[in-house]
Every structure is written in structure tokens, then in C-alpha cells.
Chain A
């Protein structure tokens, strides 16, 4: 008897605890799902509308389940939509972005690795102060540099050229790449370098044999951050290039939000995706390193 009474009481308690667990879990997942839908909405909208026929978009609006799919808008955005009076699509601007971003990323990362190695393992008098001054470059607002760059590009005849943009992004990128690499190399034990020196290894040999083999994680982080930062830059591309010479991020705003002259939604959506894909691909492939760069960049 007593036992029979006791069991329902225990069961009730267990059931209560179970209910509390289930309801709090449900609340957490409901919250996350709601937010996830909000975060994914813009991505869904551009992907869907790049494949939907224009009459369907006009009729049902941008946020609606696609009924027919077609590839035409992608072709038009790539090779025939009108940008600044020329109707050859955004392909040239996409290639401009690649031609700008790849060299600027590679050069600034290599210089950053070299500088980071020197500033952490070959310190000289004043090197700490110089390092601090270099890192100030990370925080400079682009507006401070606009007039000086305009003058320098003009003097070097690099106005309205991809080469000019590469120069700007390399100089501005050195601070960032150096900061990242230096903070990483500082953690490599000095004893390792000392031992190599006693064995007669010089500057380059130590770099080649000890530093570089330990570098892939930081080089990947730096490359990812430089690539996304340079590809996504708008103000420099817009200020120093025009029309056919512009990188795609700069041209996109003119293409997609110019009111009456803007490309129709289907073509503009494809253009948006073409502009957003390279950094997004890097994010989805190198997500782990992307986050690592984030935490390092913010906390250091």
C-alpha cells in the first residue's frame, strides 16, 4: 500500500522534471529556429530570386516560394546587363576584383609573415615602438587616407587602375597581417630559435625551416581575413576607379539600387550573388579559421 502511494508521488516529480526539461529545450530550439530563419531570409531571397522569372517576382513579391526556375538572369548579370553605360555584364568587374584581391592578399600576407617574424624573433632597438605604430594602421578610418591616396595615385599614374587598388590594399593590409603574424610567432619558444642559431642557422634558414612549417594556421587566418576584407571593400574601389575598372563590390550598389535605372530584381539578385559568393565560399570552407581570426583580431 505505502509503496503504491509512494510511487505516484515519485513519478509526479519525475514527470515534472521531465516536463520542465522538455519545455526548456523546446523554448531554446524555437528561439534558435526563429533567429535562424531571420538570418537566412536575405540569403534565401537573393538565391531564389536569381532563379525566378521576373513576372513571377513582380506578381508575388521578392519573398515567396519559387514556382518556376530559370538560369537566364545569371547569364544576363554575368555578360549582358548594363553597368555605367556599357552592357557587358559584371564579368569584367568580377575579374577586376580577383585581379585586385589575389595579389593584394598574397603580398600583404607574405610581408606580414616576414615582419611578424622579425618583430618577434629578431627584435632590435625600438622595434616594439615601431610595431605599436604599425598596428595603428589597423584602426585608421579610410577617409583620412582618401586625399593622400588620390594625390599618390595621380603622381604614379595609377588612378582608375586595378594596380592602384592593389597598392592601397597592400599598404593598408600590412598593419593587419603583421599584427596577426607577430602575435602568433611570439608564442613560438625563443629557445627553438636560439638552438637553431647555435647550430649555425641564419635568418632565412630559421624562417624557412622553423617558422614557416609552424605557420599554416596563421597564414590561413590572415589570407581569409585579407581576402574577405579586400574583396568586400567598397569605398576605395568607388573613390579611385570608375565604370569598367571598378571592382564588383563597388559596381554592385550602382547596379542594384539605382532606382529607375537599376537592373531588374532577377538580374540584380544574380549580380549580388556573384559579388557575395567568393567571400561566402571562403567562409563556408574555412569557417573554423574565420572564427579563429575573429577572436584573435578582437581580443589581441
Chain B
């Protein structure tokens, strides 16, 4: 379908009208395209430039090489943030997918009131990370939350104070994150389970495979691409973690639960170190690219393989 067809057929129109008609789509999409391209490429290059400059409180458009990157990586705040991101990514993505898979398999057993169950497990996704972090910070608070409840019920020795200690505070954020995102994994994996040809499953059952074995050997390998898609989306959430940690722990105790996105914000807006902040932003973009580029290459390869079949 090309524009040539329409101009040759629209005979009654005058040439300038024809030309205008041919250009209409391009003219209409131009503002969006310009805005998006500035946003994607212009902003990235701009931030990249600032990260290579000697800017502090205000942008300075000079060239200081990789100075900001060295300062970034030698800052304890950034090192802690990166370590936290690695732990968080592994545990949060792993646990949210495990919980999501368990829920999806349970819901797939022809249960009653299926849509009500699904609604319950998925609603946290509509709740903002800011609200999630706020409410979980209350639940983790020893003076009013889960520990207080245990004391009320008579378990006076019970201690549950994840957010109080440096070593455990990260796990408080992970738990809140799992609460927020496992429903997402559930919804996608359930859609995957439903897309499997029931005849294949029946064949495995007839061959005498136990349900557990059928899932492991027949069903789950078929939805492997969905696992990958869920992991990629959750990794993106992990890399962008900001509001959840700000609301839940404010990065504390101390700076023990700082995340890269928070460190960037801190350098840019609290400490007037915008070159270092920009360097951190570029590192976040690099982390995202590290996840998304291989994934999109794989998807393209997979799609080509599927269409060739």
C-alpha cells in the first residue's frame, strides 16, 4: 500500500491537492516524531554530554573526559546502590516470578470464581509504588505493624523489624516489590498456560506422566518465552526502582537501601553534582540496554524462526 496508488486513482483532484494529500500523513506525524526523537536521542546525548563535562551546580558545556564516571564509581553511595540493585534484581525478579507461577498454576486448576481470585492478585499493580512503599513502611514499623500485631496476640518475643537494620532493610523493599509485581507475573503466565494445546497435555497424561512431571517437562518449556518476557519487564522495574525505596525506607538506615535511581537524583538535585548525576543516569541507561538489547535481538530471531517454520 503506497501513496502512489492513491494519487493515481484520485483523478478529479488538482495536482497541488494531490500533493497535499500525499503529504498529510507525514505532516501530521511530524510533531510527534520530532518530540519523540528529541526525547529519546536529544535528551540522551544532552545528558551524556553533561556527564562528560565538569558541571557541578549548573551545566557547563566543556569536556572533562570520564572524570564524573570515576567520581561516581568511587562514591560509596553509588557502590552501595549498585550492590543493592544486583541483590534486589535477583531476589525480586526470582521471587515474584516464582509466586506468580505458583498462583497461575493454582488458578489454572479449574477453580471457582476464577476472576475474583485474579482480581485480588492483580490489584496491587494498579497501586503506585509510592503508595505501596508508604503502606508497607507502616506494616514493617515495630510500633504499629506486624510485630505489634504479634505482641497483641501474645507472642511477646516475636521480632520483625526488617526496616530497622541495615542488613535487612533491603528485604523489606523486596517484599513490598513482590507484593506489587507478582500478580503481573501471574497474569502473563496464566495467559501462557491457557495458550497451550490441551492435546499435548492429554498425550503426556495418557503416557502416564504425573502432573508435576507434565508441568516440568511439557507445559513449562512451552511458555519459556513468557518467562523471559516477564523477567525482562520486572528487571526494568528493578533498574528503575525509586519511589518504592524512597517511600519505604528513604534509602535508610543510613544509606544502606539507596538505589542507583535515588543516587542520581541525590547528586543532581540535592548535592549540586549534576555531572556525576548525569553519569549515573547514563549507567542506568546502560543497565537497561544490557537487558533490552539482547532481549530484542532474541525476540527478532525467535520471530523469524517462527515465521520460517
**What would 10 A/B residue contacts be, using CB atoms closer than 8 Å?**
A111-B32, A114-B28, A145-B47, A147-B50, A147-B277, A194-B5, A234-B242, A235-B243, A253-B130, A275-B130
B9 touches A198 (CB 8 A): yes
Please tell me if A81 contacts chain B, counting CB pairs below 8 Å: no
Q: How far is the CA of A200 from the CA of B137 in the complex (A)?
A: 62
Contacts of B137 in A (CB 8 A): 257
Query: How many CB-defined contacts (below 8 Å) exist between A and B?
Result: 263
Please tell me if B63 contacts chain A, counting CB pairs below 8 Å: no
Please tell me if B246 contacts chain A, counting CB pairs below 8 Å: yes
Q: How far is the CA of A66 from the CA of B77 in the complex (A)?
A: 43
Q: How far is the CA of A114 from the CA of B32 in the complex (A)?
A: 10
Chain A residue at minimal CB-CB distance from B124: A39
Chain A residue at minimal CB-CB distance from B269: A239
Please tell me if B16 contacts chain A, counting CB pairs below 8 Å: no
The 8 Å CB contact of B149, one of A61, A172, A239, is: A61
Contacts of B141 in A (CB 8 A): 62
A62 touches B230 (CB 8 A): no
Q: Told that A268-B134, A298-B229 touch, could you supply 17 new A-B pairs with CB distance under 8 A?
A: A31-B102, A123-B1, A134-B32, A134-B36, A144-B285, A148-B47, A174-B36, A193-B1, A194-B5, A233-B128, A250-B130, A253-B243, A276-B127, A276-B128, A283-B122, A287-B119, A299-B226
Please tell me if A71 contacts chain B, counting CB pairs below 8 Å: no
Interface centre among B102, B134, B145, B268 (most CB of A within 10 A): B134
The 8 Å CB contact of A36, one of B33, B121, B127, B240, is: B121
Contacts of A145 in B (CB 8 A): 39, 43, 47
Q: In the complex, how many angstroms separate the beta carbon of B104 from the nearest chain A beta carbon?
A: 11
Contacts of B242 in A (CB 8 A): 142, 234-235
Contacts of B41 in A (CB 8 A): 133
Contacts of A228 in B (CB 8 A): 126
Q: A45-B135, A140-B39 are in contact. Are A62 and B123 (CB under 8 A)?
A: no
**A8-16, A83-91, A214-222, A289-297 - the one binding chain B:** A289-297
The 8 Å CB contact of B111, one of A29, A172, A275, is: A29
Which residues of B are at the interface with A, using a C-beta cutoff of 8 A?
A: 1-3, 5-6, 9-10, 21, 24-26, 28-29, 32-33, 35-37, 39-44, 46-47, 50, 59, 99, 102-103, 106-107, 109, 111, 115, 117-139, 141, 144-146, 148-149, 152, 179, 183-184, 187-188, 191, 226, 229-230, 233, 236, 239-240, 242-243, 246-248, 250, 261, 264-265, 268-269, 274, 277-278, 280-282, 284-285, 288, 292
Please tell me if A187 contacts chain B, counting CB pairs below 8 Å: no
Q: In the complex, how many angstroms separate the beta carbon of A280 from the nearest chain B beta carbon?
A: 5
B239 touches A141 (CB 8 A): yes
Contacts of A249 in B (CB 8 A): 128, 130-131
Chain A residue at minimal CB-CB distance from B41: A133
**How many residues of chain A have a CB within 8 Å of chain B?**
89
- List the 10 closest A-B pairs by CB distance, nearest first: A232-B128, A283-B126, A122-B25, A61-B148, A234-B243, A143-B281, A118-B25, A148-B43, A63-B149, A143-B264
The 8 Å CB contact of A253, one of B2, B183, B246, B274, is: B246
A265 touches B138 (CB 8 A): yes
Chain A residue at minimal CB-CB distance from B185: A298
The 8 Å CB contact of B29, one of A119, A193, A231, is: A119
A115 touches B29 (CB 8 A): yes
Q: A239-B269, A252-B130, A272-B135 are in contact. Are A114 and B29 (CB under 8 A)?
A: yes
Q: How far is the CA of A62 from the CA of B230 in the complex (A)?
A: 34
Chain B residue at minimal CB-CB distance from A228: B126
Q: How far is the CA of A265 from the CA of B179 in the complex (A)?
A: 22
B268 touches A146 (CB 8 A): yes
Contacts of A256 in B (CB 8 A): 134, 247
Contacts of B179 in A (CB 8 A): 38-39, 42
Q: How far is the CA of A113 from the CA of B196 in the complex (A)?
A: 32
The 8 Å CB contact of A39, one of B1, B26, B123, B274, is: B123
B47 touches A32 (CB 8 A): no
Q: How far is the CA of A43 from the CA of B131 in the complex (A)?
A: 11
